[in-house]
């Protein structure tokens, strides 16, 4: 089978095409779908195996980044999301999509959507400690986690970030539970030492607690990250591709390939 991916978009989304291309390169069939088509029932989420919430500035990031789209999803698509997750399907949120997943309560998802309890927000993505929009490439350390999207991935990745509200912030008890459950997927790194040493700006571009760049839920099937894997799919996306001997495949593509392979193995 060819896995089907719904790439969600709304006013302000601006990374949907790149995310669409990433999944196509990974071997999936993709549809770019406006959220109103889901709400109206013109498009049925159950027809897909992967939901991707791409980056951008949904609804202009009014009030806070991703919050309006999160409210819309939480209150207008609740049942559809429950059914989607209950059937062991995948969700990925990148940058603004990560902000949306955190603000819906789908991430960290410590309470668990399967229990059908009221989704509550237990973490946030706050303003960068630099108090400005950060657009740069960063080193990431891959953590041992439950995440389906990073199974067998290389230990260090190099990906770009572009955000103003990317500082992962959570109470100490939530941070401890994330670590205990192996829900931390990526940490920012300086490429020289373990990110557990709490690295400094600009290696940690936003001041995230525990250098967290990406997390998953307890099942490993819902994944959110601030860096943009869809912006490094081939060597030609790399900022030094003319000066370095790089592999043809960019570091980000493996994330999308893992999702596609999971669906093929699970639903075929």
d(CA 167, CA 212): 8
Instruction: Please say whether the beta carbons of 108 and 217 come within 8 A.
Output: yes
Catalytic residue among 95, 147, 163, 216: 95
253-267 vs 16-25: helix axis angle to the nearest 10? 60
DSSP 153: -
d(CA 51, CA 112): 18
d(CA 28, CA 48): 11
Respond yes or no: is residue 228 known to be catalytic.
yes
Q: Where are the alpha helices (DSSP H) in 133-200?
A: 172-180
67-76 vs 78-86: helix axis angle to the nearest 10? 80
Q: What is the DSSP string of 220-248?
A: S-EEEESS-GGG-SBGGGSTTTTTS---S
Catalytic residue among 18, 134, 165, 230: 230
- The CA radius of gyration of the chain, in Å to the nearest whole number, is 17
Catalytic residue among 163, 165, 228, 238: 228
Instruction: Please say whether the beta carbons of 64 and 104 come within 8 A.
Output: no
Residues involved in catalysis? 95, 228, 230
């Amino acid at each position: 089978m060819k896995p089907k991916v719904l790439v969600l978009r709304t006013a302000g989304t601006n990374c949907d095409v790149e995310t669409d291309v990433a999944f196509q390169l990974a071997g999936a069939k993709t549809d770019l779908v406006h959220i109103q088509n889901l709400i109206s029932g013109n498009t049925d989420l159950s027809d897909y195996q992967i939901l991707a919430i791409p980056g951008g500035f949904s609804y202009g990031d009014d009030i806070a980044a991703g919050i309006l789209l999160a409210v819309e999803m939480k209150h207008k698509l609740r049942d559809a999301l429950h059914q989607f997750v209950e059937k062991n399907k995948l969700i990925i949120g990148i940058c603004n999509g990560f902000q949306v997943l955190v603000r819906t309560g789908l991430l960290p998802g410590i309470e668990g959507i399967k229990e059908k309890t009221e989704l509550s927000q237990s973490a946030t993505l706050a303003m960068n400690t630099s108090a400005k929009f950060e657009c740069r490439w960063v080193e990431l350390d891959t953590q041992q986690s439950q995440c389906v999207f990073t199974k067998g991935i290389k230990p260090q990745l190099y990906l770009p970030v572009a955000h103003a509200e990317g500082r992962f912030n959570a109470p100490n008890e939530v941070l401890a539970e994330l670590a205990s459950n192996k829900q931390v997927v990526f940490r920012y790194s300086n490429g020289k030492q373990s990110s557990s040493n709490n690295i400094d700006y600009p290696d940690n571009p936003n001041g995230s607690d525990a250098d967290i760049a990406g997390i998953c839920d307890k099942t490993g099937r819902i994944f959110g990250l601030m860096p943009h894997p869809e912006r490094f799919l081939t060597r030609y996306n790399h900022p030094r591709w003319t000066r370095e001997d790089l592999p043809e495949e960019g570091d980000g593509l493996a994330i999308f390939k893992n999702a596609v392979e999971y669906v093929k193995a699970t639903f075929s």
